[in-house]
Amino acid sequence: MRDPQSIPVNEDARLIPVWSMIAAGVAFVAIEYYFWIVLPAQRHHGPPPLGLQVYFNLSCGLLAALYFLMVGYVSRDAPRRSMSARFWIIICFVLPGAIGAVLYFLLRLPVVSSCPACGTRAQNDYHFCPQCAYQLTASCGNCFRSVRITDQFCTRCGHELAEDQMPARLRALAD
Ligand SMILES: [Zn+2]
Ligand SMILES: [Zn+2]
């Protein structure tokens, strides 16, 4: 029996790598610098209204920053789903606008992690490991739908979950 720490935890908070945050910041500053300092010096006619200028300049900077954050996210998220990060980063860069990112979110596969007992790759919605039947998440013993570890009764069928003899490591997570 493994300890509860070996169960994969939610990694969403670490999905945007530091390099992409730095790249996003640099891109934002560079674009603001270009639009506020470089471009007005080259312009011969009068400047557009200030409100319009602020809106346009900020949204261009934010879009560029978002682009780098998105690529960073894809580079971390794709491997969790057994997808090629390199392939999807190229797709995001090559396709204009955010089409690459939209395609990625439409086509991405479910998150996979490995079974703590035997190491087999298992999608996060699996209740049991397909190779060794290790119970990965809490589920109802009557209707087999997902339940929260803290639930006393199944929300779908009313089955009393205490009767299921859930493994001790799952019960330990509820404490
Ligand atoms: Zn297993
Ligand atoms: Zn049930």
Q: Nearest Cα to 100, choosing from 136, 60, 66?
A: 66
pLDDT digits (tens, 9 = 90+) for 103-127: 999 999 888 888 999 988 888 888 8
Residue 5 has pLDDT above 70, yes or no: no
Q: Nearest Cα to 64, choosing from 54, 74, 56?
A: 56
Cα(110) to centroid(ligand 2), Å:
24
Please give the average per-residue pLDDT across 159-167, as a whole number: 88
Residue 7: per-residue pLDDT: 43
Whether 172 maps to a domain, the answer reads no
Whether 45 maps to a domain, the answer reads yes
**pTM for the whole thing?**
0.65
Please give the average per-residue pLDDT across 134-155, as a whole number: 91
Whether 144 maps to a domain, the answer reads no
Residue 105: per-residue pLDDT: 92
Residue 10: per-residue pLDDT: 52
Cα(121) to centroid(ligand 1), Å:
8
Residue 12: pLDDT band by 50, 70, 90 thresholds?
low
pLDDT digits (tens, 9 = 90+) for 23-79: 999 999 999 999 998 888 887 777 788 899 899 999 999 999 998 999 999 999 998
Domain count, the chain: 1
Whether 138 maps to a domain, the answer reads no
- Residue ranges near ligand 2 (ion) with Cβ within 5 Å: 140, 142-143, 154, 156-157, 159
Cα(146) to centroid(ligand 2), Å:
8
Domain that includes residue 101, residue range = 9-109
Whether 33 maps to a domain, the answer reads yes
Half-sphere exposure of 72 (CA within 13 A, CB side): 20
Residue 164 has pLDDT above 50, yes or no: yes
Whether 164 maps to a domain, the answer reads no
Whether 134 maps to a domain, the answer reads no
Looking at all shown ligands, the one closest to residue 139's CA atom is 2
Cα(30) to centroid(ligand 1), Å:
49
Whether 119 maps to a domain, the answer reads no
Looking at all shown ligands, the one closest to residue 145's CA atom is 2
* Distance from chain centroid for Cα 104: 12
